[in-house]
A and B are shown apart, each in its own frame.
Chain A
Amino acid sequence: MEAQKRISEITLISTGVLASIAISGGIIAILAHNWDQLPHSVRVILSILPVLTGLCVFSYSLLLKYNSKVWMESSSVFLMLMLGSSIGLIAQVYHMGGDFGRFLFYWMLFCVPIIYIGKSTSTALLYLLGITWWLLLNWFNRFNFFAMDSAMGTERIWYWILLLGFLPHFYFLIRDRIYSLRAVILAYGLMLSFALTSQISYITDFYLHTIFLYPLIYFIGKDFFSSNTKVWQRPMQTISIAYMVCFIFWYTFKGELHDVVYSDNYLNQNGFTHWTGNYEYYHEFLLLYVNHILLLIFMVGGIYYYRKNKSNGHIMNPVNYLFPFIMIGALELEMDASNMIARIFLNLSLLFYVSWYVYHGLKHHIPSIIAWGIFVLTALMAYRYFDMDISFWIKGILYLSLGALALLFNKLYSDKLKSE
């Protein structure tokens, strides 16, 4: 009965939000037609009409339908889109310049209060989509793919400042550590946003920020989503785990670590000047500090949540919490030893990672983590088969031995199952 009620509510909210989006889209398109036959003053009034309508509908919901999630979600989304429509129409009436990225930036910034007054998850999700889109547009513009715009410079760090508009809403949903579909959906949105932006959203090189960000996400996921029983209900853990493995995997390829060390400003002729800043404008210095504070938050937050998880007795794969040290170690080896040794070190880390999952999967009877371990091992073996630059006969013996070991494991494990 409870489940049926929940499904009905989700259906009503989804269709309500969909209706809001469709109606808003219709209004935006009709007004974007550009009714230039109307006098200027009428067009100015018309341009402000969508946001006024949005505010009226939102006020009605807040004052008279506050307990209806359908009304609150739908009217919040409607107001958000109508605000965008009004800003767009004013830009149209006054022929204002500026690309779509700049338009998105201001639109999103002014949508933050709607998320909190309306307590609207759909608006929060659209907001997340908007700020991610903004960052990606800026990044594309940097290469002049879509528009002639400025180089991105320090602006990219605004993604993290804008994210502050989203995070408290997300925290209110997860703080009780009780399963909530809204929290899971938002967590997926957040993880998708990070996956798309985490390599382009820092002023300095992404490497250091990224290797501290993902363990933090993993620990937060462990802390807040552990009560969720199914794998898909724990997006912060699953996606951060997958990201970290892919990250290690990427740097097992020949030359990739070399590129980080020598091309990405760590040890090239610029040295560390980009960490101390070489900017002429005060606001750029401020944004550079935000960049560094962000790294500090990732580090301190990671330590805090790691300790919290440890004290709560959560079991964690060491590679997941040692991830930053493994990647820094690999960089050190790249600089002081050779690319080959650094890559061997990363391959061994992945082998340890796989063994840990298989061992714990068997010990605690969790098939999903055994499957994940085997999947990573298979991918590792497949890639190494093609890019390992050693004699064929050695490679042949190596792979035959691995196959024999797998068969032996299979035999021993099936015997054990029979004896049980």
Chain B
Amino acid sequence: MSTKSKIIALAALFIIILSIPLYLIISNENHLSNTEFQYKFRRIYPVDPYDPMRGRYITLHLFQTGIPVLDGDSLKRGDEVHVVVDRDSLGWAYFKNAQKSIPDVPNYFTTKVTSFWNDGVSVQIPFERYYLNEELAPAAEKEYNSLVRQRDSTLYLVVTIKDGKALSNNLYYKEELFIDYLKRIEKERSE
């Protein structure tokens, strides 16, 4: 391989390899800048698993009743589906409906059906992971039981949802960042 070929190959490799992390960073930053499309989800139940490449995270199980399916759509498990979200009178987000065709409104995310029954479907939640510092993750798990008991707005997740994509902004506990809350109670316990 001549030096010229090596440099051309390297330039191509730089472009290909760097394209994926740069694309992810730019598209995610753009997405999160849409503050008007932030939705607050409550009634979430965290558990603490582990990812070998991405570290510890908590899985945020959203309480899902059947999401109504748009008239005429028949959905089965594994189907791609677009879920429209909206806010109720108190400002909490909820899943308005699920449909096969791309909605006319921008406030939807795209996912897959995990189960279905007569009056609705449940879907795979694409913003169910919240990554935490490995020392805080066990503390989050410790809080699990008390968090489950507090059913309403004590723990909520803010998600930016627009044009099929959904990304978590932050997780809050009683208006305080969940991470800060965990750090605070850990500190209080150690004192």
Binding site for B on A (CB under 8 A): 28, 31-37, 44, 47-48, 51-52, 54-55, 58-59, 62-63, 66, 79, 83-98, 100, 103, 106, 110, 113-114, 117, 148-153, 280-281
Contacts and interface: CB of A to CB of B under 8 A. Distances in A.
Contacts, number: 139
A97 B127 contact: yes
29 contacts: A32-B56, A33-B133, A34-B132, A36-B136, A44-B25, A47-B21, A48-B18, A51-B17, A54-B17, A87-B21, A90-B24, A90-B25, A91-B24, A95-B130, A95-B131, A95-B167, A96-B167, A97-B129, A97-B166, A98-B126, A100-B51, A100-B52, A113-B13, A113-B17, A148-B124, A149-B124, A150-B114, A153-B78, A281-B80
A168 to B, nearest CB: 15
Contacts of A97: 125-129, 166
Contact of B9 (A35, A62, A100, A150): A62
Nearest to A44: B25
B141 to A, nearest CB: 15
B48 to A, nearest CB: 13
A95 B32 CA distance: 12
Contacts of A28: 52-53
Contacts of B51: 32, 88, 100
Given A33-B55, A100-B51, A152-B78, A90 B17 contact: no
A92 B55 contact: yes
Interface string B1-12: 101001101101
Contacts of A66: 1, 6
Interface in B18-61: 18-22, 24-25, 28, 32, 51-57
Contact of A85 (B12, B53, B134, B179): B53
Given A58-B13, A95-B131, A113-B12, A148 B114 contact: yes
B14 interface: yes
Contact of A90 (B19, B28, B77, B80): B28
B97 interface: no
B95 to A, nearest CB: 16
Contacts of B132: 34, 36
B55 A96 contact: no
Contacts of A93: 131
A110 B133 contact: no
Given A36-B132, A113-B12, A87 B20 contact: yes
B2 to A, nearest CB: 10
Interface string B70-108: 000000011010000000000000000000100000000
Interface in B148-191: 166-168, 179
Contacts of B3: 63
Interface residues of B, number: 50
Given A90-B28, A94-B167, A96-B28, A84 B53 contact: yes
Q: In the complex, which of the residues B16, B21, B125, B166 has the most CB atoms of chain A within 10 Å of its own CB atom? A: B21
A280 B100 contact: yes
B13 A117 contact: yes
B168 A62 contact: no
A49 B125 CA distance: 30
Given A32-B53, A92-B55, A59 B10 contact: yes
B21 A51 contact: yes
Given A87-B20, A87-B21, A150 B100 contact: no
Given A33-B134, A34-B134, A62-B10, A91 B21 contact: no
Contacts of B6: 62-63, 66
B182 to A, nearest CB: 10
A153 B77 CA distance: 10
Contacts of A47: 21, 25
A150 B76 CA distance: 10
A34 B133 contact: yes
Q: In the complex, which of the residues B12, B19, B52 has the most CB atoms of chain A within 10 Å of its own CB atom? A: B52
A33 B168 CA distance: 19
A28 B124 CA distance: 28
Nearest to A94: B28
Contacts of A55: 13-14, 17-18
Contacts of B166: 97
A110 B167 CA distance: 23
B83 to A, nearest CB: 13
B126 A92 contact: no
B129 A35 contact: no
A86 B21 contact: yes
A35 B133 contact: yes
